[in-house]
Amino acid sequence: MAKQIFVNIPVKDLNVAIKFYTHLGFTFNQQFTDENATCMIISENIMVMLLREEFFKKFTPKPIANAKESTEVLICISADSREEVDQYVNLAIEAGGKALMPKQDHGWMYGHGFEDLDGHMWEISFMDMSALPQ
């Protein structure tokens, strides 16, 4: 059986977060969705659990980092093309997110990123392995 990864991130308003990520084209597993959390599907084996902050606090003795003031994690998703990279970032901006650093173009690797409504940082990266320098 393939390993799965579940990234858990706190959100201030679950419904607003769902609306934001739906605008980016993500879907959600309703079996793992209630008033406290939802399971956003990135791929068959990668899910992001969006947890209301109060619910998230039940899983850690540490305070929740304010992602708008500090970086707690940088999440990177692969894309199938440069256009898909730009599409994700453009959709995030349309939905109220912010672009991160300037686009990075290394020829064989292209990336850009956005900050979601709660300040979580997402990078989107395309790699053309056939153009990878030897």
- Secondary structure of residue 75 in the 3-state scheme: strand
Residue ranges per structural domain of the chain = 1-59, 70-134
Which of the pair, 1 or 58, is modelled with greater confidence?
58
User: What pLDDT, on a 0 to 100 scale, did the predictor assign at position 100?
Assistant: 87
DSSP string, 49-94: EEEEHHHHGGG-SSPPP-TTTS-S-EEEEE-SSHHHHHHHHHHHHH
CB 85 within 8 A of CB 44: no
The position carrying tokens 């799965």 is 4
CATH of domain 1-59: 3.10.180.10
User: In whole angstroms, what is the distance from residue 6 CA to residue 66 CA?
Assistant: 21
CATH of domain 70-134: 3.10.180.10
The per-residue pLDDT for range 83-115, each reduced to its tens digit, is: 999 999 999 999 999 998 999 999 999 999 999
The per-residue pLDDT for range 6-19, each reduced to its tens digit, is: 999 999 999 999 99
* pLDDT of 1 above 80: no
